[in-house]
Structure 1
Amino acid sequence: MNLVKEDFIKAFSLYEEKALQYRRFKHADILPLLQAKEIQKRFTVEEIGRSVEDRSIFRLKYGQGATKVLLWSQMHGDEPTATMALFDLFKFFNGEADGFDTFRTEIAEKLTVYFIPMLNPDGAERYQRRTAIDVDMNRDARAAATVEGALLKTQAMLLKPDFAFNLHNQNNYYNIPGTATPVTISLLAPAYDYARSVNEVRADAMRVIVGINNILQEFIPNAVAKYDDEHTPRGFGDNFQKWGTSTILIESGAYAGDTEKLEVRKYNFIALLNAFQEIASGSYSVHDIADYNAIPFNDEKLHDVLIRNLAIEKNGKKMRVDVAIRQNEKTVDDGYYVEGLIEDIGDLQDFYGYSDLDVEGLQFIPAKLYSERIFSLAELSSSKVAELLKQGYAAIRVSDRVDGGMMHAFPIQILTDTHFKSGMSPMIGDDANFFIGSDSEIRYALINGYLIDLILPLGAGVKNRVK
């Protein structure tokens, strides 16, 4: 059975794991899924080790074919998209009577597929890149000093897989060169030496990637790129390639409006199913390496907000500049908040923004703290906040006692003291709190890095906290 576009759509719609819809899930959220009887219908589930903080790490096995494939996800704890996709695949391979039984049988007869989801559960607990001992596991292939890195290396030596998939997330700011299109999926056949040589092992990885790119172009045309192929002698992908395993790196990127990476997760699911199909049939071998080389490399010129042609004034001197803003996530115990900062100022014609606005004819207006009264959190409303924003107030004080900072969704800074810094002109590294307008009217607000059109109804979705 050869899956085509409509089959991939149907498979994902049937088998998306609904228990994982929020990307900051933890080890405790996947344990019930791994321990459920349903997953053991066609998978062998085995605990193969424990993390530094004694969290279990599992390996799942599907099929009994001669060609061995190993996949691992979330070796960086804050890169969870592919883990969600693996659980979608687990449900798919446990399905039946849905038109895909022939496909499942073919995969099981020709491949033995090993999955290690959430290789860094301690990092996932903190939503951080590194392990609990603050080591980047993906720079530990050579030394194998970390418990988790040593575990993966042991699996490589034990299983000696023919193919491997190293599953990651990249940041949201990669774009297709020369365009404002975010890179949704980035692919790479890692280099096993500094010369970036191509032997048959690496060439086969390239051919598998060509097949993945072909199917993804049907879903996300012109949104696939290659990751940087500089050789990293400590990296797992580079070393798997050196150890004789054709290794494919998949980096989950960005899709506009897809905060929880649910769309990007779907494209992981499709990419991996297609790869299994081509490896099982051997059809990957017909692909031309020239098509791999033709995939563009990532560029990194995206920002969350880009304001163009903003009039500013300093010491009586006026000029027009572009201002780039990025929204940085800050993890706290019960989730995260966003800290919007001014990233760059100047001539940014070659850069892009998810929100990209030309304000020629309008000027920078410093933000103000409303000091006429102190509010309580209970009396705040969207209409009250909108009224304050239109008057140029970006911050208010509240009387409530707030321990450790409380999350809120109002597009205004809520303070428990009088500390509020606002510059008379934008400066790199400053909080992105300012207004844009004319001498007679404020037209836009930038609050904590979020762009707000003050003519439109006030929206939701801001991840802010009481300070």
Structure 2
Amino acid sequence: MKSFFKLLLLFTTLSVASQTTHFTSKIYETYYVYKETSLDKRRIKHQDIQPLINTLKNKPGFSVNKVGQSIEGRDLTLISIGSGKTNVFLWSQMHGNEPTATQAIFDIFNLLTSSDFLKEKETILNSVTLHFLPMLNPDGAEKYMRRNILGIDINRDALRLQSPEGLTLKRIRDSLNADFGFNLHDQNIYYNAELTNKPATISYLAPAYNYEKDINQVRGDAMKLIVFMNNIIQKYAPGQVGRYNDAFEPRAFGDNIQKWGTSTILIESGGYKNDVEKQEIRKLNYVSILSAIYAIANGQYKNIAIDDYEKIPRNDSKLFDLKIENATYNLLGKPYKIDIGVKRYEVDNADHSDFFNVGRIVDQGDLSTYYGYNTFNAEGYTIVEGKVHYEVFKTVDALSDPKVYELLKSGYTYIKIETLPENNIEATKPIHLVKTDYELLEFKIKPGVNPTFLLQKNGVNEYAVINGFLIDLKTEKNALKNALVYR
């Protein structure tokens, strides 16, 4: 009889796993049916999500309630659906400039309100009740900044509870006595999976609830779910998962919510090559969160080995936007071989609806243990200073693209413009714009300077680096967002 029950348990476990795998594959394949297309940029604001929230008020099964206000008076809304006894609480964007999961939440709503996946949704909604609190920090989102308008990092306000946003989060967690919590964030794009050149596209953490980093059932269940989600992401972004640092932070909400009895999963959305607006990462959030919810509903996570959690590579921070290696740099008459690490920082426009890039050299020398989203082996190339072209052009429009590339090939990286674009710091052409009396500073490759120079081989300028973007002068191809205007 015992053998029969073991076989039955094995059959049931395999059947549930098969159903989950099918569900995961199908929601990945059909993602663009449910993607909320009105949220296609990272710099979303409170006003962008309000119409979407309002439509949910009229959808069957949804409960939509104002549960608080930000300091500047923007509503905080809790959206609930389901009738199961297991409460799952998901909150996003407690840091205003971390919107990836907020977008994914509205994709999830689109699936939940569709007529598709009826069997899987029945399993979920009969077993669990889902509670979403999207955009916890709307004032920060308005200015695309991490902190709230008081200047507080809400994720460090779990003890003092000085922010109304933090108070709301604590009150909702307590009122639900949530069984599972998803703490949804973005991390910077320069994290990599330890000892690899792959970005930590998604990083997970089951936060510690004490300095000893003990593992009880609450934290253990979070670890199991993370192992489950890691296995999913490995199918679509192999090697691109990291494990966030689990040092106990007594002021942090994730650590405290774990301590208060909610199995808490931190999800950090990092970087993905050629995904500036993090739309591919948004899709991975959607798939992994929905799959995790399904695993909670059908109980599949319970049979996962906790030990596999420690096998997930740690987050490291050894990525550059551009890494140039083995370049020759002449200094005081002597040639040196150096690597150069470049990051392109984002600077917001006035209304925080878009950004331009400002490149900086952040490191140089032997960078053999570092990686780049784009790595160029400059063996045989010499770094050469770019020049200011002597001719003055009346306007930017007077410059054709072929003319710009002709100038770059001739060694000019700056051009004089009689009438510079008013109030603009960024230039759309792949060359810097300067005022008519502009004079270059002494050319030096060093940390902190803007990476603008030429890469020359056998006396021919084959590549240009403009504002940290690599431009192939042979094919005239580049991924430049902007050059700069110098006045």
Classify the TM-score, shorter chain. Answer: over 0.9
Deviations 1:75-125 (A, max 9, x none): 1111111011000001111111x3x11111111111111101111111111
Deviations 1:268-306 (A, max 9, x none): 011111111111111111101111111110111110111
Contact 2:20–2:295, Cα closer than 8 Å, also in 1: no
The 3 A distance-change label for structure 1 pair 202 and 39 is: farther
Please report how far the alpha carbon of residue 3 of structure 1 lies from its aligned counterpart in structure 2 after TM superposition.
4.9
Please identify, of 198-207 and 32-41, the stretch whose mean Cα deviation from structure 2 is larger.
Answer: 32-41
Q: SS at the partner of 1:308? A: strand
**250, 256, 264: which one aligns with 1:247:** 264
Contact 2:472–2:478, Cα closer than 8 Å, also in 1: no
Aligned twin of 2:464 = 445
Q: SS at the partner of 1:40? A: coil
Please report how far the alpha carbon of residue 395 of structure 1 lies from its aligned counterpart in structure 2 after TM superposition.
1.6
How far apart, CA to CA, are the structure 1 residues paired with 2:341 and 2:439? 21
Q: SS at the partner of 2:391? A: coil
Please report how far the alpha carbon of residue 418 of structure 1 lies from its aligned counterpart in structure 2 after TM superposition.
4.2
Please identify, of 198-207 and 386-395, the stretch whose mean Cα deviation from structure 2 is larger.
Answer: 386-395
Aligned AA for 1:375? K
How far apart, CA to CA, are the structure 2 residues paired with 1:248 and 1:276? 12
Aligned twin of 1:436 = 455
Q: SS at the partner of 1:466? A: strand
| 1:18 equivalenced with 2:37 (yes/no) | yes
Aligned twin of 2:52 = 33
| 1:346 equivalenced with 2:388 (yes/no) | no
Please report how far the alpha carbon of residue 427 of structure 1 lies from its aligned counterpart in structure 2 after TM superposition.
0.7
Contact 1:367–1:422, Cα closer than 8 Å, also in 2: no
Please report how far the alpha carbon of residue 413 of structure 1 lies from its aligned counterpart in structure 2 after TM superposition.
1.3
Please report how far the alpha carbon of residue 421 of structure 1 lies from its aligned counterpart in structure 2 after TM superposition.
4.4
**324, 334, 354: which one aligns with 1:307:** 324
| 1:200 equivalenced with 2:217 (yes/no) | yes
Q: SS at the partner of 1:387? A: helix
Please report how far the alpha carbon of residue 397 of structure 1 lies from its aligned counterpart in structure 2 after TM superposition.
2.5
How far apart, CA to CA, are the structure 1 residues paired with 2:254 and 2:383? 47
Aligned twin of 2:389 = 370
Please report how far the alpha carbon of residue 409 of structure 1 lies from its aligned counterpart in structure 2 after TM superposition.
2.4
Contact 1:190–1:249, Cα closer than 8 Å, also in 2: yes
| 1:137 equivalenced with 2:154 (yes/no) | yes
Contact 2:420–2:434, Cα closer than 8 Å, also in 1: no
Contact 1:69–1:111, Cα closer than 8 Å, also in 2: yes
How far apart, CA to CA, are the structure 2 residues paired with 1:367 and 1:322? 19
| 1:289 equivalenced with 2:299 (yes/no) | no
Aligned twin of 1:359 = 378
| 1:73 equivalenced with 2:92 (yes/no) | yes
- Gaps (5+ residues) in structure 1? none
How far apart, CA to CA, are the structure 2 residues paired with 1:130 and 1:453? 40
| 1:60 equivalenced with 2:98 (yes/no) | no
| 1:111 equivalenced with 2:128 (yes/no) | yes
**105, 121, 126: which one aligns with 2:138:** 121
**20, 24, 46: which one aligns with 1:2:** 20
Amino-acid identity (%): 41
How far apart, CA to CA, are the structure 1 residues paired with 2:150 and 2:483? 30
The 3 A distance-change label for structure 1 pair 319 and 113 is: same
In the superposition, the TM-score normalised over structure 1's length comes to 0.95
How far apart, CA to CA, are the structure 2 residues paired with 1:454 and 1:381? 15
Aligned twin of 2:201 = 184
How far apart, CA to CA, are the structure 1 residues paired with 2:478 and 2:240? 28
Deviations 1:4-44 (A, max 9, x none): 24312244232111111111121111111111257633321
Contact 1:226–1:298, Cα closer than 8 Å, also in 2: yes
Contact 2:56–2:64, Cα closer than 8 Å, also in 1: no
Query: Where does 1:126-165 land on structure 2 (aligned, <5 Å)?
Result: 126-165=143-182
Please identify, of 289-298 and 36-45, the stretch whose mean Cα deviation from structure 2 is larger.
Answer: 36-45
How far apart, CA to CA, are the structure 1 residues paired with 2:480 and 2:83? 47
Q: SS at the partner of 1:326? A: strand
Q: SS at the partner of 1:349? A: coil
Contact 1:399–1:416, Cα closer than 8 Å, also in 2: yes
Aligned length: 465
How far apart, CA to CA, are the structure 1 residues paired with 2:439 and 2:364? 22
Contact 1:375–1:396, Cα closer than 8 Å, also in 2: no
In the superposition, the TM-score normalised over structure 2's length comes to 0.92
How far apart, CA to CA, are the structure 2 residues paired with 1:376 and 1:146? 50
The 3 A distance-change label for structure 1 pair 417 and 172 is: farther
The 3 A distance-change label for structure 1 pair 305 and 423 is: farther
**182, 190, 199: which one aligns with 1:173:** 190
Q: SS at the partner of 1:372? A: strand
Please report how far the alpha carbon of residue 446 of structure 1 lies from its aligned counterpart in structure 2 after TM superposition.
0.8
Please report how far the alpha carbon of residue 408 of structure 1 lies from its aligned counterpart in structure 2 after TM superposition.
3.7
Please identify, of 192-201 and 337-346, the stretch whose mean Cα deviation from structure 2 is larger.
Answer: 192-201
Please report how far the alpha carbon of residue 402 of structure 1 lies from its aligned counterpart in structure 2 after TM superposition.
3.7
Aligned twin of 2:10 = none
Please identify, of 191-200 and 431-440, the stretch whose mean Cα deviation from structure 2 is larger.
Answer: 431-440
Aligned twin of 1:224 = 241
Aligned AA for 1:376? T
- Gaps (5+ residues) in structure 2? 1-18
Contact 2:420–2:433, Cα closer than 8 Å, also in 1: no
Please report how far the alpha carbon of residue 389 of structure 1 lies from its aligned counterpart in structure 2 after TM superposition.
1.1
Contact 1:409–1:460, Cα closer than 8 Å, also in 2: no
Aligned AA for 1:339? V
> What is the RMSD computed on CA atoms of the aligned residues?
1.7
Aligned AA for 1:352? Y
Q: SS at the partner of 1:329? A: strand
Please identify, of 143-152 and 422-431, the stretch whose mean Cα deviation from structure 2 is larger.
Answer: 422-431
Deviations 1:439-466 (A, max 9, x none): 6211111101101111112445413453
Contact 2:469–2:478, Cα closer than 8 Å, also in 1: no
Aligned AA for 2:208? A
Q: SS at the partner of 1:279? A: helix
**378, 381, 390: which one aligns with 2:400:** 381
The 3 A distance-change label for structure 1 pair 119 and 339 is: same
How far apart, CA to CA, are the structure 2 residues paired with 1:330 and 1:394? 22
Please identify, of 415-424 and 453-462, the stretch whose mean Cα deviation from structure 2 is larger.
Answer: 415-424
How far apart, CA to CA, are the structure 2 residues paired with 1:422 and 1:95? 60
The 3 A distance-change label for structure 1 pair 266 and 272 is: same
Deviations 1:185-228 (A, max 9, x none): 10010111111111111111001111111122222221111011
Please report how far the alpha carbon of residue 401 of structure 1 lies from its aligned counterpart in structure 2 after TM superposition.
5.2
How far apart, CA to CA, are the structure 1 residues paired with 2:144 and 2:94? 12
